[in-house]
Structure 1
Amino acid sequence: MLINCVAYENGAKLADIPVESISDYISRPGCFVWVALSDATPEELAVMQLEFGLHPLAVEDAQHGHQRPKVEEYGDSLFVVMHLVEPSDAGEQCIHVGEVDVFVGSNYVLSVRNRSRQGFLGVRERCEREPELLKNGAGFVLYALMDAVVDRYFPVIDALEDELESIEQQIFTQGGAARDKIKQLYELKRRSMVLKRAVAPLTEAAGKLHGGRVPQICMSSQEYFRDVGDHLGRINGSIDAMRDTVATAIQVNLSMVTIEESEVTKRLAAWASIFAVCTAFAGIWGMNFEFMPELKFRWGYPTALALIAATCGYLYYRFRRAGWL
């Protein structure tokens, strides 16, 4: 579906133009056309391929989708794939991954957004508010799109970190099923891996756009792409730190379970020892021998009960003092 098709010249918007007029505008010096598509059909991509002269392999990747984030050069044009990470309709506990494919040439920008509800109208408005920067042409538009995609990663990583902090606090509280906490931690780790698969390849790909042999399209915007690379580096570091924390939290949770089981075992052992003394005394005095000296003693029964109670009380005191009860 066509979202918009706009022609720009010298950093200023000329007009919204029909697709049929694209070739007329891109042939003008200092003019470039920015087209935005959403969930494009093969027919729409075929029209754009004809208008802009897109490379067939890049068009094929855009049609199939589900590509790894990357930056590829085809002659004097670029093909950029980025993942769009956003909360799913199922709730914040799930992450939905969309994709935006960007074709960039010296006189055109074509963005194709797939499986995502969030558009880039704000990016277009930002660029139009900065005509001095928009004079840099298609390279600056590519930066603005990449910057918008990367900025959308920050709320996701913040939400994951807040959830991890909440789970960590629950680990040291009494109650709660250990199985549920481990399940939450593994689910959090899975979602962090989804974000990692979006960020890590893009970090490597963005490095091609600043420093070293930079594509001609991006020469005038190198410092801006460097800023995007810094943001990606921060996010990548946060993800790695969070994954390490999740692994540590799982180990701590298992250790807490072991400690709780040890406490239960000690309590059971202490009570078993106390009742074992009762059983031992009762077993001795319960033997049916004829010549047992205690059988003729008037106060034998109360004395036996008192001795059992005193011994059990002493054992309870010692176990209590040792922290077993």
Structure 2
Amino acid sequence: MLINCAAYEDGKKLADLPISSIREYVSRPGCFVWVALKDPESSDLEALQGEFHLHPLAVEDATHGHQRPKLEEYGDMLFCVLHVLEMDELGNLEVGEVDIFVGPNYVLSVRSKSRIGFLNVRERCEQEPHLLKNGAGFVLYALMDAVVDRYFAIVHRLEGELEQIEDRIFTERGTARANIEALYALKRKLVTVNHAAVPLLEAIAHLYGGRVPQVCMHIQEYFRDVYDHLERIVKITDSVRDMLTTAIQVNLAIISLEDSAVSKRLAAYAALFAVPTMIAGIYGMNFEHMPELKSEFGYPLSLTAMVVLDIVLYWRFRRARWL
């Protein structure tokens, strides 16, 4: 589906275009066309492939989707794949994809499986004509910057989830399994963020250092800024992942401590029952010559001994915090 198609020259928007008029503006010096598609059919990409002379391998990747974040160079054309991360109302992490074709006189963005669009990016670019003068390269930067900035919101929300789980670990009882499940679910989300961010570090590094593609010349500092943001995101996710690993170990240690406390409590109660059982067992052997067997006070004395010994044991167990 076509979202937008417009021509720009000298940092200013010339007009909104139908697909059939793209060739007229692409051939004009100093002019570039910006086309945005959402979940397109293969026929839509084939039509634009002819207009922009896109490389067939890049078009094939965009058609099939499910690509790893990357940046590839085909002659004077750049093909960039970005993962778009979105959090739904239930806290589940959804992964979309944006494929961007960038040439000297065109930008084609193809958005798949993503609810949030990039109209705000287009508005931002149009409000900064002095930067939009740099052409298609600046549009590539603006799209990359928008995608990477969305990662910050996701990472901060994951940090909040970890803090909530940590609070439950130390304040609630009987939820150890639920805490472990929540921690592993959080770990999967962090892995998803890492899979989206880490491959882009190397890709974006090629846009501001070494042999910079022609379309990105004169705006290398902007791509370096995106690289810095992405590096911060990776460091935050690594830090959260380390804290998560520690939280899992603490949760397991608490489970072990609780099991040990239960074992001690059961052993203490078993000892309290064992003493009367031992005394009763001895006097239940019915030997003829046993002390106090025929005494009038034998029965109350044995009961008293049982109670006194149990009281002493109970006091000792309480001091040792077994009970």
TM range, normalised to the smaller chain?
over 0.9
Q: Please state if 1:202 is matched with 2:200.
A: yes
Within-5 A mapping of 1:1-325: 1-88=1-88, 91-325=89-323
TM-score, normalised with respect to structure 2: 0.98
One-letter identity of the residue aligned with 1:196: N
Cα distance in 2 for partners of 1:293, 1:133 equals 106
Deviation at residue 87 of structure 1 after TM alignment: 1.7
Cα distance in 1 for partners of 2:176, 2:198 equals 32
Secondary structure at the aligned position of 1:293 is classed as: coil
Deviation at residue 176 of structure 1 after TM alignment: 2.9
Distance change (3 Å), C-alpha of 1:86 and 1:141 = same
Secondary structure at the aligned position of 1:220 is classed as: coil
Cα distance in 2 for partners of 1:108, 1:232 equals 26
Deviation at residue 305 of structure 1 after TM alignment: 1.1
One-letter identity of the residue aligned with 1:29: P
Cα distance in 2 for partners of 1:246, 1:8 equals 48
Equivalenced residue count is 323
Deviation at residue 295 of structure 1 after TM alignment: 2.1
TM-score, normalised with respect to structure 1: 0.97
Any gaps of 5 or more consecutive residues in structure 1?
none
Secondary structure at the aligned position of 1:84 is classed as: strand
Cα distance in 2 for partners of 1:164, 1:10 equals 48
Query: 4+ runs of 1 displaced by more than 3 Å?
Result: none
Cα distance in 2 for partners of 1:166, 1:238 equals 17
Cα distance in 1 for partners of 2:96, 2:172 equals 40
- Measured against aligned partners, the alpha-carbon deviations of 1:277-309 in whole angstroms (never above 9, x if no partner) come to 111111112221222230232222111111111
* Aligned residues: CA RMSD: 1.1
Secondary structure at the aligned position of 2:153 is classed as: helix
Q: Conserved in 2, the CA contact under 8 Å of 1:139 and 1:220?
A: no
Secondary structure at the aligned position of 1:80 is classed as: strand
Cα distance in 1 for partners of 2:287, 2:28 equals 120
- Measured against aligned partners, the alpha-carbon deviations of 1:121-152 in whole angstroms (never above 9, x if no partner) come to 00000000000000011110000000011111
Any gaps of 5 or more consecutive residues in structure 2?
none
Cα distance in 1 for partners of 2:110, 2:190 equals 25
